[in-house]
Amino acid sequence: MLSKVKDYSSLPEKKKQKLIKKGKIDADGNVIYHKKRRMFKSKRVNRSFAGDLFLILFLLIGGVFMAFPMIYAISNSFKPLHEIWLFPPNLIVRNPTMDNYKDLVTILSNSTVPFTKYLFNTIFITIVGTVFNVISASMCAYPLSKSKFKGKHFLNQIIILSLMFAAPAKAVANYLIMAGLGWIDTWLCLLIPALGSSFALYLIRGFVDTFPDIVLEAARIDGAGEFRIFFQVLMPNMKPAWMTLVVFSVRDFWNQGASIYIYREELKTLAYALSQIAAEGIARAGVSMAIQIIMLIVPVGTFLVTQSNIIETMATSGMKD
Amino acid sequence: MKQKAMKSQSLARANRQRRLSLLVFMGPFMIAFFVFTILPVIVSLVISLTNFNMLEFPQFVGLDNYAKLFLNDGVFATAVQNTFILALITGPIGYFLCFAFAWLINEIPPKPRAFLTLLFYAPALSGGFGAVWSLLFSNDSYGYFNAWLQEFGIITEPIRWTVDTDYMFAVCVIIILWQSLGTTFLTFIAGLQTVNKSLYEAGAVDGIRNRWQELYFITLPEMRGQLMFGAVMSISGTFGIDGVITAVFGMPTQEYKLHTIMHHLHDYANVRYEMGYACAIATILFIISVIANKLIQFVLNRIGK
């Protein structure tokens, strides 16, 4: 838009003042910075076309390195068994086949506990666990960041410190606590601790901290109660934060395999059942790759849905204050 | 008089309401947090002062476990050394890469951005991919890297990546760096999304000349919460590294070359069932992490000032 106007000195005074105010021209009518040919629209300083191109190339190379094991797993899941053990090995499959996936279906349909039971268990745990995780952490992060009360600083410190204590050392105590509560062999062992995840809280709190107080104050003056402020002001603006937490939470619960707290076969999860299949040795190499790919569908799906949502929020909500 | 009484009454009510809302907001989290996190930590601190072996009733032994750790356990000294070297190399590099990639990805339009983010986040999506590295770095000619190097005639004998002490460390660093782009990376992406966009325009007016200044004076201070979070994650990730090493190099690793504090902890907790000793190791690891965290907080608090 700006580049179309060549001569700024001939502009009407009012428009000129406006441009000066925006910082686009100085008092003599000289343009402060030009809008160069760029790949992406952005109103910021110092961007160039070459820079953008270099950036994308650099990222693509990095991205391929990062995704390399995933590409490998996808490729292997379509290989017939003899091709997996071919020498020299080839990365990309030559004769793609669905055999590995078909074998997986056959194995699953022959299991003692029906496959759908495992699937249901995993879906239930994932949904409930994620909801617990996100709601509880977000609700607690709000006062821990914005309210004033005695011991707030202390609580915040404890939460950060707790993240650094090695999990295996806590396992014995955790088991004793679960046993004391009588929760062994129930899902409560997996779901209730999700209410008190210091990881989730610390993640969310980082975002609440930078949320402007003025907005909360304005809502309070308008007569909104704390709950309304939380659900209608804070949470919609914190969408990138809790959507990110949803991604992590779904990933962790979905991949929840064997648990030391759960013995009953009909309470076990899909990840557990599939890992048992993959554990049956070399002949299952192809099937185990197929398992990994199938297990990816839900975390990747969640990721894509949340990412597009995050971008949408940012586009519609605009500025925060 | 009456007015004053009413005022104090309504103040008291507001206070009561405030306290009630605090309770409702924080109650569920705090109860679960104390029961399932703080309590176990306290219990394991106490266990570290005993000789608990999971069968007999624990006996109080004072600081014996700690004395043994520092004076009598050569492997622990090796583990501490390995952990420090690995953490000092992979921690800062991983953290920096997370931020660099997140920052760069944030510059590109939404659709390719989502795709690239997915590529970069892929390692963290599934727990199983770590095992793929052990196939790629397999010790025989069926391993991909060996096969390729042989095909190009660079080597004649397969390199034994996971047991040859000359290569183990480098391979390990690559795998850890690959794995480290997960949680922190995605958090940075989200953090960059919530940076107030109008600040950039205001910054351009206020005399910010290049992207480095923009990064230092606007982006980084606005992302302080995520930077702190990332730091804590990378500390607990790098000092507590074990799973991916075990998946590729086995446990114990050749000549204890990649034996970390966490491996030592696993060894005593899950193999030898000496819980007292294992908890003492956990306590030492905890103290190291806390000190590292304090140092990083000190640095991060200086940014943009």
Q: Encode pLDDT of B160-210 as tens digits.
A: 777 777 788 888 888 888 887 778 888 888 888 777 777 777 887 777 777
Residue to substitute from A138, A207, A259, A296, interface B, most B β-carbons within 10 A: A207
Minimal Cβ distance to A46: which of B35, B118, B211:
B211
d(CA A307, CA B113): 9
d(CA A267, CA A185): 8
Listed by start position, the domains of chain B span 1-47, 63-300
Minimal Cβ distance to B108: which of A56, A165, A299:
A56
Confidence at residue B32, expressed as pLDDT on a 0 to 100 scale: 92
Contact A162 B33 (CB under 8 A): yes
- Provide the 8-state DSSP code for A86: -
Q: What ipTM does the predicted assembly reach?
A: 0.83
Listed by start position, the domains of chain A span 1-35, 107-317
Per-residue pLDDT at A47 exceeds 70: no
- Residue A22, burial from CB neighbour count under 10 angstroms (0-12, 13-18, 19+): middle
Q: Which pTM value belongs to this model?
A: 0.81
Question: What is the DSSP annotation of A267-305?
Answer: G--HHHHHHHHHTT-GGGHHHHHHHHHHHHHHHHHHHHH
Per-residue pLDDT at A320 exceeds 90: no
Shortest distance between the Cα of A80 and any Cα of chain B, in A, equals: 16
Among A4-13, A221-230, B84-93, B222-231, the minimum mean pLDDT is found in: A4-13
Please state whether A90 falls in left (phi above 0), alpha (psi between -120 and 50) or beta. beta
Neighbours of B85 (CB within 10 A): 14
Residue range A57-114, pLDDT digits in tens: 888 888 888 887 788 888 888 888 777 776 666 777 777 888 888 888 888 777 777 8
Written as six digits, the tokens of A316 are 């519609």
Alpha-carbon distance values, A310 to A85, A138, A246, B115 (Å): 43, 17, 12, 14
More confident: A209 or A127: A127
Confidence at residue A137, expressed as pLDDT on a 0 to 100 scale: 93
Q: Which CATH number is associated with domain A107-317?
A: 1.10.3720.10
Residue to substitute from B125, B133, B289, interface A, most A β-carbons within 10 A: B125
CATH architecture classification, B63-300: Orthogonal Bundle (1.10)
Q: CA B108, A33, A27: angle at the middle one, nearest 5?
A: 145
